[in-house]
Structure 1
């Protein structure tokens, strides 16, 4: 007699592989969007300013700074009780890695023309939005920084209107 309880469900494995491919695609696209906004050279998002400052201060890459800060934030999120998922851990390690890969190999160009740089900045932000939709849509956990906002909002009884600007300017 066959015990069906121990037979591996092929569809389940295929679905999990598809889920992780979608997660990694979203994280790679997120890194593409980040590098596009950085290479547009029109200013940085608050977290990127922080990462760039750490990178220059400690002679590391911006991707390495992103990973280090992500690790610190994930530890803080865990202490504060936020759920840490595979998406959170993947985000923590892969976005910085992908950013360094893209920048080291000059896969995202740097332009001198201001009009092209503005278009690149806007397209980079669009890519960031689509990438977020993809990787968050998988449902394997939010990114470290999003998780920090979630846990702090829960702790402050939904006063995120005050927390978001405070966090963005606190580390500047």
Structure 2
């Protein structure tokens, strides 16, 4: 449990840092990042504060879906926003297009690793992931359809609020699934076990 908690909080901390690395180049954010940025610009609140408020609001939607949060769920709501604000205070905007792209790509890769770490801890899904799975169970629709609908809704709302959509949005969309799939076995021993079993001599 100590290892899993350490992995959970390391993953959430790095997720917040990865968010800052994607914000600073100003080349486009992931769908929820676009929403958080747009809401922050209109509300006057910090980016991280909007992340926390949004996570708490999404968590309330779990109630009618009868989803149960874990310690990882509650930690996700608070820790990522705090980490994002701290990282944004320390990380400045890069100078030059090459440096901006380098920071963006580093942020996306780190985001994939951080996601693999906190999911692999098995201490509760994030608010948005739990909402997705609750809607899938209630509606009978596919994960792909529900996830796409949620992401497009966040992206559209964020764009209307003035969030940044750009090449970073596209790069995130085409790479994040592959990156999470790559990093999950690194942080989740359960996903490595089938490979070990298959490798044992009979």
TM score, norm. by length of structure 2: 0.72
Alpha-carbon separation, structure 2, partners of 1:160 and 1:19: 26
2:101 is the counterpart of 1:118: yes
Residue pairs, 1:16-165, within 5 angstroms = 16-104=1-89, 106=90, 108-165=91-148
What SS class does the counterpart of residue 111 from structure 1 fall into?
coil
Q: Which runs of 4+ in 1 moved over 4 A?
A: none
The residue aligned with 2:149 is 166
- The one-character-per-residue Cα deviations of 1:137-164 (angstroms, maximum 9, x if unpaired) are 1100111111111111112214233222
Shift of 1:95: 0.3
| Number of equivalenced pairs | 155
- RMSD of aligned alpha carbons: 1.4
More deviation, 71-80/25-34: 71-80
TM score, norm. by length of structure 1: 0.84
Structure 1: gaps (5+ residues): 1-15
Shift of 1:133: 0.9
Alpha-carbon separation, structure 1, partners of 2:5 and 2:144: 33
Shift of 1:69: 0.6
Aligned 8 A contact 1:78 1:84 in 2:
no
- The one-character-per-residue Cα deviations of 1:48-84 (angstroms, maximum 9, x if unpaired) are 1111121111110010000001001111113311220
